[in-house]
Homo-oligomer: A and B are copies of this chain.
Amino acid sequence: MTEARKPGFSDCNNATLRRAARSLGRFYDDALGPTGLKSTQFGMLFQIHISDEPAMGTIAEALIMDLSALGHTLKPLIRDGYVETFPDKDDRRVKRVRLTPQGQAKLDEALKLWSVAQRQFENKVGAEQAAKLRAALDAVADLDLEMPAAAPSN
């Protein structure tokens, strides 16, 4: 610890997490490059794929993302014909989402490249270690964090 410690380092859990996300994101993005999909888009297609014509709100909840953000994120995928939406039969407020045949095909294509990247990653850190990390991250993501209501003087 001669100087200011090497890399990023604040002990901030959030900063550390984002830093890792940028790093890993670049790797998966590179891997998926040939498909023209970003790793985020791949993740979105996959999520839709494993769900049963989910409502937007359902996806947003599963991915812990803002509903409006989801809407924005979906646009390029809809524009490119990978995803389509349709109204729910019973509740006209609800918009459901599904992959188009092209979307399914693109996902299949991407899965091949993804699995290579995934394997590459697990070879480096160890499959078990990776699984533990994912479990820890899921646990963190699902934490019910709340600020102390910032009420020291009220």
Contacts and interface: CB of A to CB of B under 8 A. Distances in A.
Interface in A36-94: 39-40, 42-43, 46-47, 50-52, 62-65
A1 interface: no
A17 B24 contact: yes
A51 B8 contact: no
Secondary structure call for the A interface: helix
Which range contains the number of A residues in contact with the other chain?
35 or more
B30 A15 contact: no
A118 B146 CA distance: 11
B9 A145 contact: no
A25 B14 contact: yes
A105 interface: no
